[in-house]
Structure 1
Amino acid sequence: MRKKADNFFSAFPDNSAEQHIYKGIEAFFGEPRYAKDKKYLYEIDVLRKKLAQDSSILQRTDFGAGVTSKLYKPVNKTTVAKLHKGSSMPQPLAMFLFEIIRHTKPVNCLELGTCLGISGSYIAGALQLNGKGKLVTLEGDKNSAAIAKGNFAKLKLAENTTIVTGKFADTLPEVLLNLGHVDFALIDGHHNGAATLQYYEQIKPYLSEKAILVFDDIDWSSDMQNAWLKLQQNKELYLFLDLGRMGICVYSKSSLPKAQLYLPV
């Protein structure tokens, strides 16, 4: 896989946005280069283990597509451990995002789908290690958001993270206005193809040149797979990395040749 990435990115100029993404991929396949990165990632691992053992009862309202089952209810009781196991981003994918952000150095980051704050911790932690940048993360459920806020505080990320609670449809427009521009966006938490495409269209006017968009769970359903295919037809999106579960795109107002790489993680 590393060789595939080497060949793919060799076509892009040195010091370009694409090469910075490639450096992040290189770091992902290797070891974190800095002691401070290793220390921070260890702290997240400790937090992950605690969440995996947390039997606290959590009543949660899910405004997304939920579980594809007739037994699914939008308001349900679960445990923190079960929610973490079923909804927190797996470590390899979260590490991938961490390294991408460490090397591309975005300033304004947006996340749709905070959950317990795990993916946000990798994003905000990378920003903090970069010495600049902030994360605004949206969550539909107030109880999950409260736990995420506590997790951000434990990792000393309170200063560069903001959690906005409510339905994405209600909160996203104002968040975008306040941000002004978006350099990195993680779209998660609503596993519905039409909604995913709608969020992209809402965010698009605010995207900076060479902004990075990450779409999680593109393999969730045929509906999400079709949404990923439709995104690839968008003329402003030109670089596509398919990681299997996750899709990464790069935005440009220029008409750049499309480039696609399948790189399962």
Structure 2
Amino acid sequence: MYLIFSYIKFFFKSIKLHGVHSPFVYDLINQCFKDKESYPEYKSLENYTKNLTHCKEILLVKEFGSGSRVFRSNKRKVSAIARHAAISNKRQQLLFRLTRFFNFQNTLELGTSLGKATIAFALSKNNHVISVEGCRATASFTQKALKQAGCSNAEVIIEPFESFLNNKIDNLIDCIYIDGNHTYKDTINYFQKLLPVIHNNSLMIFDDIYWSAEMQRAWKEIAAHPKVTVAIDTFQWGIVSFRKEQKKETFTIRL
């Protein structure tokens, strides 16, 4: 019910393209979000997803953070995870387009799951992708799946997010995709710990910002942060940019 009421409010608050006056955001929406071109890489995404949805392997999943809304047991068939808990094909294609549009060279993903987002980032061969997954069974499965898909530029690290972020990250990151541990405390903690590795053109993407009232609180706090100049609420994702030349604005956009 929380999600239903939240989406109704989101729907009436959202704006169409002609209501966007920022050139940066206008181009992002028009040239990336609404790009209708059928890229050949979409076939690779489709094949990867198809393999997952036909996989009968059962994983013993260890949950972190707020847990799953879909599964009651920690014994989960890969095909069921792919159908009910992985990102949608539409969002997967959008991640590929974002990578292409911004020409990401270094991407960090917190929450590998079955790798549907990971492969979307990794199809741009100049993009080095590090994906962090706390569940060993899930990470081990996805490592093999990505290798079979030819993603040599994607590295899966088996480690809890907190532990990984306590270590020094040597490079600045172009894109940070956070999908896991959907709590206020953890989300704000990840954001604060990752601020030192962002640069002027970095993008941060937060998944499930309407997961709960506390995730909405986290999103609003992140959007209001002094270093954030553009915050885009797409309901499923919250996207923030740090461009200093950009006037601080917040947008609510239906994809």
TM-score with structure 2 setting the length: 0.86
CA contact (8 A) 1:21 1:103 kept: no
Structure 2 counterpart of 1:191: 182
Letter in 2 for 1:172: L
CA contact (8 A) 1:17 1:210 kept: no
Mapping of residues 169-184 of structure 1, within 5 Å:
169-174=162-167, 176-178=168-170, 180-184=171-175
Alignment equivalent of 1:5, drawn from 17, 36, 45: 17
Structure 2 counterpart of 1:25: 33
Structure 1 residues 107-138: Cα deviation after superposition (integer angstroms, max 9, x where no partner)? 1110000001111110111x22xxx2201000
Structure 1 counterpart of 2:247: 257
Letter in 1 for 2:158: T
Letter in 2 for 1:165: I
Which structure: greater helix fraction?
1
Letter in 2 for 1:177: I
Distance in 2 between residues matched to 1:114 and 1:64, nearest whole Å? 15
Distance in 1 between residues matched to 2:69 and 2:76, nearest whole Å? 17
How many residue pairs get matched? Answer: 242
Q: Does 1:139 align with 2:133?
A: yes
CA contact (8 A) 2:121 2:127 kept: no
CA contact (8 A) 2:17 2:29 kept: no
Alignment equivalent of 2:114, drawn from 113, 116, 121: 116
TM-score with structure 1 setting the length: 0.83
CA contact (8 A) 2:17 2:26 kept: no
CA contact (8 A) 1:106 1:183 kept: yes
Structure 1 residues 184-224: Cα deviation after superposition (integer angstroms, max 9, x where no partner)? 00011211121011101000011011210000011111111
Tell me: higher relative CO, structure 1 or 2? Use CA pairs within 8 A at least 6 residues apart: 2
Percent identity between matched residues is: 22
Structure 2 counterpart of 1:162: 155
CA contact (8 A) 2:118 2:131 kept: yes
* Counterparts in 2 of 1:22 and 1:173: CA distance versus 1, 3 Å: farther
Question: Where does the alignment leave 5 or more consecutive residues of structure 2 unmatched?
Answer: 1-10
Structure 1 counterpart of 2:80: 82
Question: Where does the alignment leave 5 or more consecutive residues of structure 1 unmatched?
Answer: none
CA contact (8 A) 1:140 1:167 kept: yes
* Counterparts in 2 of 1:49 and 1:68: CA distance versus 1, 3 Å: closer
Distance in 2 between residues matched to 1:172 and 1:86, nearest whole Å? 29
